[in-house]
Amino acid sequence: MKNSTKSKVNNVCLSYDAVVIGAGHAGCESALALARTGHKTAIITLDKNGVAFLACNPSIGGTAKGHLVCEVDALGGQMGINADKTTLQLRMLNMGKGPAVHSLRAQVDKHAYHDNMLETLLNQDNLTLIEDEATEILQEDGKVCAVKTRKGKEIKTNAVVVTTGVYLNSRTIIGEEIKDSGPSGFKNAKGLSDSLAKLGYEIVRFKTGTPPRLEKSTIDFKKFEVQKGDTHIQTFSFLTKKANKNTHVCYLGYTTLKTKQIILDNLSRAPMYSGVIVGTGPRYCPSIETKIVRFSDKDTHQIFLEPESARCSEIYVQGMSTSMPKDVQHQMVASVNGLENAQIVRYGYAIEYDCINPLGMFPTLESKHVKGLFTAGQINGTSGYEEAAAQGILAGINAHLYLQNKQQLILPRDSSYLGVLVDDLTMKGTIEPYRMMTSRAEYRLLLRQDNADARLTQIGRDVGLVTDERYNKFLKKMANIEKIKQKCKAIIKPSDELNDYLASVGETPAPNGLSIENLVKRSKVEAYSAIKALGLLKGFKKSELISALTEIKYQGYIAMEKQLIERERKLEEKRLTADIDYTLIKGLRKEAAEKLNQIKPLTIAEAGRISGVNPADITVLLMSINKL
């Protein structure tokens, strides 16, 4: 079943190694990972026009999300490559803070992004795109065996990855207007939720939403603050050779006291508060009406005007997500300075959808109920394109390893933000759409964007996703980083130029000179700027210098994080088997036993991260397994 085949829409055969259900950001990464590792793969989508569609914000990256995109890229994924090709504006967020939280964010062309990803799928060997609706997943003897579709197909397969995003039993809501629909007017999926429930998953109901889109020509941009892109910064993909050009700008503005009053006057008509919406919404990306209620002491809130595409004149109003009735949306928009005459092209809406309780899957993203069944993306209770793509490539990798009868990949928390994301989902679960944030990672200094390839590219190579081109670039970069570290031991001779530079940044002079390493470690010295100002370490790329100099500057902190990781790994080595009945362990609290039986952790370290399991419970567990 491994014959190479060019993908053609609806050229359906009745047997594939793997079937991916859904062609959003998670589905694309899963399908590409499976096809690129040699498996005959089908990806099922309701509509090919919805492939990798940016239904909400036309951007990729952001705080912590940029880290995830770089990690997808380092593993051999597609999101970073596609984002770089379609960038309208690129910025590095959090530059006033340390390098651990620097985060790339690109405003991308939503139409070009979709076109590029669709073309990538259609030209990928071993991959077939099918326009249909998956309605049922069949299993035999506890293993996936087939997928049924709305058009009557029964596709035999040995592995399934479900990446349905926000389409399962979804409905869109604008005030009193409720539609049986997916995002942006696309069809929804109605049959699969029942099938997943029958397979053992707990189905939950979540909600997200979007703001209105405005006609560019009707906006008075002079009343907004221009937000330009950054130059000379890294791109998402380590393969991108040229720096991105900033062809568009964004704008910063604020809602007004009048906006607040309009919302408060119409709160009884807001679906969030009238009882129309029952799904749980994202805490960290609330609607404007939720912000007005939750932060009642604030009279204004930030909004950003962002271009959706170079091909159209639609402007996305970041920060004004809403499901208010259409007449109220008109009033809200007109209450903002500069938007008095703005025309709404598309109304903001809320969307409710089915997803699963992620406690029903292993850290490999495989189901605890059916072998060969994986889930990735918003169906797992997450929010965001980046979280979806990251889960997608991991699910694709593990479906590949499952088909090869090899040990599946579990990424520890110290390896990646993706590892943190999956560990949080499978050990703690989530009661609201989960969003990745830098604060969720305890080893942030080791999990920077600039070193994502150092952390993950060898893994991608080992599973067959990293190409020779990428791997050779990676090896060259690692070798140059080591050369830079060695050269940093060299002494800078005392000079007026050196001392003038030190004085300019508020550092004491070095009358006897100092090593490059010690220069970099000085607290007020910005490492890369110092090297450029003094003309040191020429002949290396900026990306190589930043990685090497960051590791030198924060050497002590990095060493402390590695010590903590080593302690945690000792607990990871203490394995737990899936057949343990925790209610039989004497001294273990009832709550802890119930949680442990529900989640079935694979190691003592995982058990310690479960909500409801405390250190005393871990001590009891350690004593118990040591007796076995």
Do 254 and 299 belong together in one domain? Answer: yes
CATH number at residue 227: 2.40.30.260
Residues 392 and 69: their CA atoms lie apart, in Å, by 12
End-of-domain residue from the set 301, 331, 350: 350
pLDDT at 72: 98
Backbone angles phi, psi at 598, to 5 degrees: -70, -45
User: How many separate helices (H) and strands (E) can be counted in the chain?
Assistant: 21, 22
CB-facing half-sphere around the CA of 326: CA atoms within 13 A: 8
Residues 133 and 146: their CA atoms lie apart, in Å, by 14
Per-residue pLDDT tens digits for 294-317: 999 999 999 999 999 999 999 999
Do 544 and 599 belong together in one domain? Answer: no
Could you tell me if residue 339 is inside a domain?
Answer: yes
7, pLDDT greater than 80? no
Do 302 and 340 belong together in one domain? Answer: yes
Residue 585: name the closest of 530, 627, 522, 545 by CA. Answer: 627
Residues 518 and 507: their CA atoms lie apart, in Å, by 12
pLDDT at 4: 40
pLDDT at 615: 80
Do 346 and 226 belong together in one domain? Answer: yes
**Using 50, 70 and 90 to split pLDDT, how confident is the model at 616?**
confident
pLDDT at 5: 41
pLDDT at 8: 53
Do 544 and 602 belong together in one domain? Answer: no
**Using 50, 70 and 90 to split pLDDT, how confident is the model at 281?**
confident
Per-residue pLDDT tens digits for 43-89: 999 999 999 999 999 999 999 999 999 999 999 999 999 999 999 99
Q: What's the predicted TM-score (pTM) here?
A: 0.92
Number of Cβ atoms within 10 Å of the Cβ of 535? 8
246, pLDDT greater than 50? yes
Per-residue pLDDT tens digits for 450-479: 999 999 999 999 999 999 999 999 999 999
Do 605 and 518 belong together in one domain? Answer: no
Residues 607 and 398: their CA atoms lie apart, in Å, by 22
Query: What stretches of 94-162 adopt beta strand conformation (E)?
Result: 103-108, 127-131, 134-140, 143-149, 154-162
Cα-Cα-Cα-Cα dihedral of 52, 58, 64, 68, to 10°? 20
pLDDT at 3: 39
Do 249 and 327 belong together in one domain? Answer: yes
Could you tell me if residue 40 is inside a domain?
Answer: no
Per-residue pLDDT tens digits for 586-600: 888 888 898 899 888
pLDDT at 9: 55
Do 239 and 300 belong together in one domain? Answer: yes
Could you tell me if residue 51 is inside a domain?
Answer: no
Residues 31 and 460: their CA atoms lie apart, in Å, by 15
Residue 235: name the closest of 52, 388, 92, 390 by CA. Answer: 92
Residue at token pair 């590029």: 116
Q: How far is CA 615 from CA 384, 408, 440, 619, in A?
A: 33, 29, 20, 6
Per-residue pLDDT tens digits for 77-123: 999 999 999 999 999 999 989 999 999 999 999 999 999 999 999 99
* Mean pLDDT, the chain, whole residue set: 93
Do 542 and 599 belong together in one domain? Answer: no
CATH number at residue 595: 1.10.150.570
Do 546 and 591 belong together in one domain? Answer: no
339, pLDDT greater than 70? yes
pLDDT at 283: 78
Residues 33 and 23: their CA atoms lie apart, in Å, by 13
End-of-domain residue from the set 559, 588, 609: 559
Residues 17 and 34: their CA atoms lie apart, in Å, by 9
The pLDDT of 278-285, averaged and rounded, is 79
Do 503 and 598 belong together in one domain? Answer: no
Q: Among residues of the chain, what percentage have pLDDT more than 70?
A: 98
Could you tell me if residue 131 is inside a domain?
Answer: no
CATH number at residue 522: 1.10.10.1800
End-of-domain residue from the set 295, 321, 350: 350
Q: Among residues of the chain, what percentage have pLDDT more than 90?
A: 83
Long-range interactions of 179-183: CB distance < 8 A, separation 24+: 182/46, 182/50, 182/351, 183/53, 183/55, 183/56, 183/210, 183/351
pLDDT at 225: 98
Q: Is 77 helix (H, G, I), strand (E, B) or coil?
A: coil
Do 616 and 489 belong together in one domain? Answer: no
Structure tokens at 135: 């309605």
**Using 50, 70 and 90 to split pLDDT, how confident is the model at 1?**
very low
Residues 457 and 450: their CA atoms lie apart, in Å, by 12
Could you tell me if residue 394 is inside a domain?
Answer: no
Question: Could you tell me the residue range of the domain that residue 489 belongs to?
Answer: 475-559
Backbone angles phi, psi at 178, to 5 degrees: -120, 130
